Amino acid sequence: MEHRRRYSMKPRDTQRSKVYAAEKVLFGSSKKFESVKDVEKYLRRIFDTVWFKKTFPHKRKFQVKDGRGRSGPSGAPRGADGVTMSLPKWSRFESMILHELAHGLTPREYAWHGPEFCAVFLRLVDRFMGAEAHKALMFSFRDHNVRSIWFKPEINDVNELLGLPPAKQELFKF
C-alpha cells in the first residue's frame, strides 16, 4: 500500500541562521507588548489597514497563543484565510511579531526563511515599523547574504512572480 504525504515537502530552509542574524538589527527599535491582548490589538490594526487588505486579501483571521511551554515564537498559515502564532512573553516585540506574521502570510510551498518569506517580512517592517527600520533590515539582509524576492500573494504560480516573464525572474539580493 502506497503511503501518501498529507503535505508536499517544503524547500530546504537554507537562510534560517542568516535571517536570524540579520534581524537582530531591529531589536533596539522594536516596541514591547506586555500581553497577548496587546499583541491582538496590534495585529487587528495591521489587518484593518487598507494596505494589508489589498496586499493580502485572502488573509482575514488571526489567532495568538501565549506560547507557554514553547522555547521560542512560531507563526504559520492557518487554513486558507488565517494566521496563527504562539508568542512566549519574552518574544512579544514588534519585530518578532512581524517575523511570525510573515510566516503566516507566506504560502506554505516556500521555504520557512526563503526569499519569499524575507520579502514579506521586509514589506511588513517597512509598513509598520517605518522606513528607517526597513532600510536597516534591508542593508542587514545584504550584509548577511539574505536573498529576497517579492511576489503577488494572490498568485500561486511561480512563473507570474513580479509579473515578469519566466526568463527574467531572478532572486535578487538587497
- Does residue 87 lie in a domain region? yes
Task: Give the phi and the psi of residue 86 in degrees, each rounded to 5.
Answer: -120, 130
- Domain holding 135, by residue range, is 16-173
Rounded-to-integer distance, Cα 13 and Cα 62, Å: 24
Question: How is residue 88 written as a grid cell?
Answer: 512566549
How many domains is the chain partitioned into structurally?
A: 1
- Reported as type and span, the H/E element at residue 172 is strand 172-173
Q: Is the pLDDT of residue 44 over 90?
A: yes
- Does residue 5 lie in a domain region? no
> Of 7, 35, 12, which Cα lies nearest the Cα of 113?
12
Q: Is the pLDDT of residue 90 over 50?
A: yes
Residue type, 112: W
- Reported as type and span, the H/E element at residue 64 is strand 61-65
45 with 97: CB under 8 angstroms?
no
Taking only the tens place, the pLDDT of each residue in 125-163 is 999 999 999 999 999 999 999 998 865 554 444 334 344
61 with 82: CB under 8 angstroms?
yes
Instruction: Evaluate if pTM is beyond 0.75.
Output: yes
Rounded mean pLDDT of 7-12? Answer: 67
Rounded-to-integer distance, Cα 27 and Cα 23, Å: 7
Taking only the tens place, the pLDDT of each residue in 49-80 is 999 998 888 888 999 999 888 888 999 888 88
Q: Which residues contact 18 (CB under 8 A, 6 or more apart)?
A: 113, 144, 145, 146
Rounded mean pLDDT of 108-135? Answer: 92
pLDDT tier for residue 9 given thresholds of 50, 70 and 90: low
Residue type, 101: L
Instruction: Give the pLDDT score at 149.
Output: 82
Comparing 166 with 105, which gets the higher pLDDT?
105
